[in-house]
Amino acid sequence: MRPPTRIDVSERRFLGLTYRQLGILVAAGGLALVCLAGLKAWPLWLRIGLVIVILSLGLIWAFWQAHGLTLEQRLLDALVFHRRTRHLLHRAVRDINQGRATWPAAEPKRQAAPRQAAQTAALSWSPALLWITANALGMAVLVFLTVWLWQGGAHQLALLWQPL
């Protein structure tokens, strides 16, 4: 009996996640834990904000895909494209009739262009990386402000507003 020859390792799963996603999430979680426990000199609200940003970036990196490509595949494609010395084109960048002499006709023929029926445009929208990142950072800021207000920030604001 022969083992299968065409195995895609990215399709294998552990706890419902691919090994790539699991590795990214473990690395982001470990980095967030190190930031939370290791940066004792920083205030708690700043550490929690940093942890939320790290975890949201890890989630985006692990689960975001555009047209079936992961984030690192898209970045690698963009890097390879911009590092090329030549960009292949479908046709040359010159006009087909370049250099030919054309003589105007005695009388130009006028023809009425037929009217086309109005067409409705089909809109398809999918969230882009910038949209997802902006929403994740916005949620991180909201959670950060909520935790800060809950742990004494509201009292600090009240002390600041009393003299005014």
User: 10-32 pLDDT, tens per residue?
Assistant: 566 667 778 888 888 899 999 99
Tell me which H or E stretch contains 102: none
Q: Which phi and psi (to 5°) does residue 2 adopt?
A: -100, 145
3-state secondary structure of 70: strand
Which residues partner with 14 through β-bridges?
Answer: 17
Model confidence at 6, pLDDT cuts 50, 70, 90, reads low
Q: Which phi and psi (to 5°) does residue 6 adopt?
A: -110, 80
Whether 152 and 71 have beta carbons less than 8 Å apart is answered as no
Six token digits for residue 103: 């003589």
Domain boundary assignment for the chain? 10-81+131-164
Q: What pTM was estimated for this model as a whole? A: 0.44
pLDDT of residue 21: 86
Instruction: Name, in order, each residue with C-beta under 8 angstroms of 64's C-beta and a sequence gap of 6 or more.
Output: 70, 71, 129, 132
Which residues partner with 65 through β-bridges?
Answer: 70
Give 35-94 pLDDT, tens digit per residue: 888 888 888 888 889 999 999 999 888 888 888 888 888 889 888 888 877 666 655 556
The fraction of the chain above a pLDDT of 90, given in percent, is 8
Which residues partner with 66 through β-bridges?
Answer: 69
The CA dihedral of 16, 18, 22, 28, to the nearest 10 degrees, is -120
CA distance 15 to 8: 18
Average pLDDT over residues 113-120: 74
- In 36-93, beta strands by DSSP E: 65-66, 69-70
